[in-house]
Structures are given as C-alpha cells and as structure tokens.
C-alpha cells in the first residue's frame, strides 16, 4: 500500500488553528512569567512565609535566675545548667536495646518511657526534665530518632536543709514555689528572650539567624541572713528538738539596731535539693506561719503597760498569797507561792497571780493598745508566703477572767517572728523598727511604743529573770549580761487545753549594756519529761546567743567567770 498517497496525509489544516495554539502557549508563558515576577519581586512575603514555616523557628532564650546571697556575699541559691529530654511521639523510634540504655541513663523503667509516649495526645512530650548535662550527652550518643534535648536551669542550694525554710525552692519551670524564691519571684526571675534559627528536618539547629529580643537576666538578692549564725541556730535547735523528743521547734535571730533577720530556722526541715519525700509538716515555716499562746513571755508587756499608765512602779508591792487567785468560777495558780512581792519580782518569779492583779488594775483597752502597737494581731510584713497576723480580740469583748489570763499569755496567739520583734522595744529603749529579710544599709525609722524609762525598767527586770532566783538561769552566758523571759503554755486542743502538751519558749537579748541581738526560741511538745521554757528553750538561746555575739565581735560586758546554775530540783519554774 502507498501510504504517501493516503488522502489523510494530504489533508491541509487551517492556518489559524496553528497560530491560535501558538498564541495560547505564549499567553500561558506570559502569565506564568508575570506571576513569578510578582511573587518574587513585589510580593515575596507569601513564598518567604511558606519556606520559613518549613525550616525557620523562633526559640525562647531562658533568662538566668538571679543568685541569692547572704549579707557577706556567700551564695545561698544558684542556677546550674541542665537538660530536659523530650520527644515527638510520631517520630520516636528505637529498638529494645536502645530503650533499655535510655531507661538506665534516665533512671526510669522502660515501660514508663513507653507509656509516657503512648499516653501523649500532643506532638510534644517530656520524658524527663532537669538531668545533668553529662547524662544528656550520653543520651545524644544513642542517636534515637524523635528524641530531642533542650537547655534549662536547675536551682541548687549549697546550704541544704539549714536554709530551707528561708529560701524555699523553685519548680521545674524555675519559678519560685516557697520562701524567698516565691516572695521575690519577679526580681529573681528576669525576662526570657528569643532568637530566630534554622533547623533541619531532624529538628537540629544548623544556623543562628538573628536575635529578636535579648534575655534580661534576673537580679541577685542580698539577704540580711548571716550564714554563720544561721548554721549555729539550726544546729542548736535540731539538737534540742531531738534531745527533748519534741514535735517541732523554731528560732529567730534579729539585729536590734537594723531589724534585720540574721537567722530563721525550723525543725523538722527538708532538703530543697532533693524533694522526693516532702511532707506538709517539714515544709511548714513554723516561725512565720504558725501561731501559739506565748505564755509568760507576754508578762513584760502587761507590766510595761501598767508602768506607762501610772498604775504601778517597779517596786510596787503585789500580794500573790496564797499562790492562787479566783475570778468568778475560775482560779489562777502560781507554780510557787511567793506571798508579797514587787512588780519586778512578778517578772523574775513569773507569777501568774501577780500579772493578773496588775492587769485588772488598768483598763483592758490600754493592754490591747500595747499589744497592737508591738505588732501582735498584725502581719509582720516580711513578705514571706503565708505569714500570719495572730489573734488579739478587741478589748471591749474581754471579760475580767480573759483580761487576767491574757496578762500572762493565754487567750492570745502570736507567731515566733512577732514575739521576737516585740521584744526589741525593751532592747531599743522603747521604740520599734520594721524587720527585714533583705540586707539593710541604712537603719530604718523607728516608732516609739513605750518610754525609754519604762523600757530600761523592764530591761532590769528581764535581766533578773536569768539570774539565780529567776526562771531562766540556763540562759546565762559567760562574759555577757543577758535579759529575757521564759514561757510555758498548755497547747490548745479540741476547743480546750491539752493536759500534757506544752509549748516551751524563751525570748531574750544581749549584751544588756548595749543590746545587739534578740533571739526567740520555741519548742513544741517536748516529751522527755522536761517542758518548762527555762529548761527546754533557754539553753538553746544561750548557745546561739553566745556563738552569735562572738561571731559578730560584740565586746563582753560582764566578768569572765563560770555560770552559777541552781541544783537539780531547785530551779524556779514558770507558772503554767
């Protein structure tokens, strides 16, 4: 067959059809060219955004948390770099051998890792946070797909359990949870920054493009705390609580001149570097958040009020015989029947009957005003989380028996910090200063509460209380004159008072000639057979005060001669 002669091949198409097709090709090419020029020249944001969505990321730059240091610059809390291990569940792939190695490095069970991945409903899941960098490096060597690391900071506390209740701790996000870490969170935390980086398909950074916002580092915080005194106070308190088989205890050390808190400790405590076994009782900052009836430590304020209102003088005689005093249906008792004694001896001998008679000789409002003016019933404004105000009911609600019992510290509740601060009026010639957790460079302004003459009179009475014949001879310190007052009170329980549970306390200051420190000690439920403040709390005061004064270089104001203590069974006890 002759194909060249086929009529199909000899058919001629119209010229306009080929030209129309060619024109269509040119028009399409022109449209694409214009679109390309438009996208890449005038409107390239769209393509740029699409490209960046695949490789460009904005990452947060963590701000380093500020340090916490004591008044001498010794580090109490610092941030150390750590790593967090996280995974993308959809990309997470590993064999059994890798799983076992990963679990061993993370100190986890293999099934826990698998469960964490399986239970995640998100594209991102933490496997474990805050692990040491050297462990993270060994994990990176496993080269597990879908497993990543991020840099974080972990708080480290060199002082451990000694500083725990002052400093508190931070959580996994490096945010303050307790103590100073929480109280000064904004100052310590700083502000995170951000950077734009390029990542490959495995999520690894291959190029650092630009800084969007620089991180603002947290500010350091200088506390009033003196680490030497803090260690001394904690050690003495711990020994006393354990020796007397007590439930708990607290101690506060204040600088008389500046109101700075040089030490604050509680026992039991916890280690903020290892919080795996925390309990509510160990977390409680008892010196700040717990209140108790102060017992006889309140008598000096009753006597000071009576002297200020002109009702008594230090040498005014008070009849305390026969050692009891009945008001309505209630009877007040003394531990020792003293008979006719002076107002000064009411403090020295710790007479409940004497204090009650002095209180009933003046208006209840006068006592209430004194209590409020020294800070009872008002938060101390330290800035600590959970600080309490205590309880002082309005004077108009007091019945005679309540006014009488309040004179020796029953029917009123205070915190240990409040009690320590209140005693500064006797050490400072009658005025009161704010107390501070942070170092004070300029002494604060003071508020006058009682006259200097009254303060000096009470100072002499409180000094007699620590001498033989008083209730606290065990508070004496060789080489220093000491003044203070014991307190022993039944604990409140189920709407009444527990028969055999006591709060033992002592508050005092030294040197008497030029007071430098006030120390308040509280021991809760001593159970070794001793529970009076003079036997349980006063020795703690003496040990801490002696060490603290020598640490501060305070000059002695008394002869360096041995301390005289009463024989066993002859020591004067508080009236409870």
Q: Which of 84, 227, 296, 373 is catalytic?
A: 296
Q: What is the pLDDT of residue 439?
A: 96
Q: What is the pLDDT of residue 194?
A: 62
Residue 96: phi and psi, rounded to 5, are -65, -40
CA 540/CA 249 separation, integer angstroms: 11
Task: Indicate the pairing of strand 221-222 with strand 68-69.
Answer: parallel
Distances from the Cα of 480 to the Cαs of 180, 230, 300, 511, in angstroms?
34, 21, 21, 6
Contact present, 57 and 196 (Cβ < 8 Å): yes
Handedness of CA 338, 339, 343, 345 (dihedral sign): negative
| Cα distance between the two ends of the chain | 136
What string of DSSP letters covers 292-304? B--GGGGHHHHHH
Handedness of CA 511, 513, 518, 522 (dihedral sign): positive
Q: What is the pLDDT of residue 372?
A: 97
Contact present, 123 and 89 (Cβ < 8 Å): yes
CA 67/CA 62 separation, integer angstroms: 15
Collapsing DSSP states into helix, strand and coil, what is residue 216? Answer: strand
State the DSSP H helix or E strand holding residue 96, giving kind and residue range, or none if neither: helix 96-106
Q: What is the pLDDT of residue 443?
A: 83
Contact present, 422 and 208 (Cβ < 8 Å): no
What stretches in the chain show pLDDT beneath 70?
Answer: 1-13, 39, 41-61, 120-123, 193-213, 215, 568-570
Helices (H) and strands (E) in the chain, counts: 21, 19
Which domains does the chain show, CATH number per domain? 59-222 (3.90.1310.10), 227-274+292-552 (3.40.710.10)
What's the farthest any 2 CA atoms get from each other in the chain? 154
Residue 33 appears among annotated catalytic residues: no
What string of DSSP letters covers 131-171? E-HHHHHHHHTT--TTEEEEEEEEEE-TTGGGSHHHH--B-
Task: Indicate the pairing of strand 205-213 with strand 483-493.
Answer: unpaired
Q: What is the pLDDT of residue 207?
A: 52
In sequence order, the 6+-apart residues with CB closer than 8 A to the CB of 188 are 65, 66, 68, 176, 181, 218, 219, 221
Q: What is the pLDDT of residue 197?
A: 59
CA 203/CA 211 separation, integer angstroms: 19
Q: What is the pLDDT of residue 232?
A: 98
Collapsing DSSP states into helix, strand and coil, what is residue 519? Answer: strand
CA 392/CA 406 separation, integer angstroms: 9
Q: Rounded to two decimals, what is the model's pTM? A: 0.84
């Amino acid at each position: 067959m002759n194909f060249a002669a086929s009529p199909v091949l000899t058919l001629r198409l119209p010229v306009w059809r080929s030209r129309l097709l060619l024109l269509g090709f040119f028009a399409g090419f022109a449209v694409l060219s214009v679109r390309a020029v438009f996208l890449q020249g005038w409107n390239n944001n769209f393509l740029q955004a699409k490209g960046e969505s695949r490789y460009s990321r904005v990452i947060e730059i963590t701000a380093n948390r500020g340090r916490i240091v004591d008044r001498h610059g010794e580090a109490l809390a610092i941030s150390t770099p750590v790593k967090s291990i996280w995974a993308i569940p959809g990309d997470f792939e590993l064999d059994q051998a890798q799983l076992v190695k990963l679990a061993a490095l993370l100190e986890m069970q293999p099934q826990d890792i698998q469960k964490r991945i399986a239970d995640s409903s998100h594209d991102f899941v933490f496997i474990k946070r805050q692990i040491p960098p050297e462990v993270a490096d060994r994990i990176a060597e496993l080269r597990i797909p879908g497993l990543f690391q991020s840099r974080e900071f972990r708080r480290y506390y060199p002082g451990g359990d000694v500083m725990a209740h002052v400093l508190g701790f931070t959580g996994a996000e490096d945010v303050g949870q307790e103590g100073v870490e929480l109280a000064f969170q904004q100052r310590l935390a700083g502000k995170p920054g951000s950077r734009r980086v390029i990542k490959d398909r495995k999520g690894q950074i291959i190029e650092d493009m630009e800084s969007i916002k620089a991180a603002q580092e947290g500010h350091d915080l200088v506390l009033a705390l003196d680490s030497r005194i803090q260690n001394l106070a904690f050690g003495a308190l711990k020994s006393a609580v354990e020796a007397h088989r007590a439930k708990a205890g607290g101690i506060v050390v204040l600088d008389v001149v500046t109101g700075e808190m040089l030490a604050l400790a509680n026992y039991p405590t916890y280690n903020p570097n290892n919080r795996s076994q925390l309990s509510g009782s160990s977390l409680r900052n008892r010196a700040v958040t717990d209140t108790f009836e102060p017992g006889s430590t309140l008598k000096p304020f009753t006597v000071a009020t009576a002297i200020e209102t002109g009702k008594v003088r230090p040498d005014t005689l008070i009849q305390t015989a026969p050692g009891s005093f009945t008001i309505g249906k209630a009877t007040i008792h003394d531990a020792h029947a003293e008979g006719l004694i002076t107002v000064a001896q009411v403090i020295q001998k710790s007479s409940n009957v004497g204090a009650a008679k002095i209180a009933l000789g003046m208006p209840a409002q006068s006592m209430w005003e004194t209590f409020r003016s020294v800070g009872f019933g008002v938060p101390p404004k330290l800035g600590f989380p959970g600080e309490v105000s205590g309880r002082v009911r309005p004077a108009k609600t007091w019945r005679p028996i309540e006014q009488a019992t309040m004179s020796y510290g029953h029917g009123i509740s205070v915190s240990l910090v409040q009690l320590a601060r209140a005693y500064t009026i006797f050490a400072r010639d009658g005025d009161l200063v704010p107390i501070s957790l942070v170092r004070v460079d300029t002494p604060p302004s003071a508020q006058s509460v009682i006259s200097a003459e009254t303060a000096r009179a009470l100072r002499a009475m409180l000094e007699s209380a620590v001498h033989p014949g008083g209730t606290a001879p065990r508070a004496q310190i060789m080489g220093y004159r000491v003044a203070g007052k014991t307190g022993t009170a039944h604990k409140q329980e189920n709407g009444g008072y527990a028969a055999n549970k006591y709060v033992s306390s002592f508050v005092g200051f030294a040197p008497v000639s030029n007071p430098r420190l006030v120390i308040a000690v509280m021991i809760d439920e001593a159970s070794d057979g001793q529970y009076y403040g003079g036997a349980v709390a006063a020795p703690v005061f003496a040990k801490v005060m002696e060490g603290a004064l020598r640490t501060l270089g305070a000059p002695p104001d008394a002869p360096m001669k041995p301390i005289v203590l009463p024989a066993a069974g002859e020591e004067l006890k508080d009236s409870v």
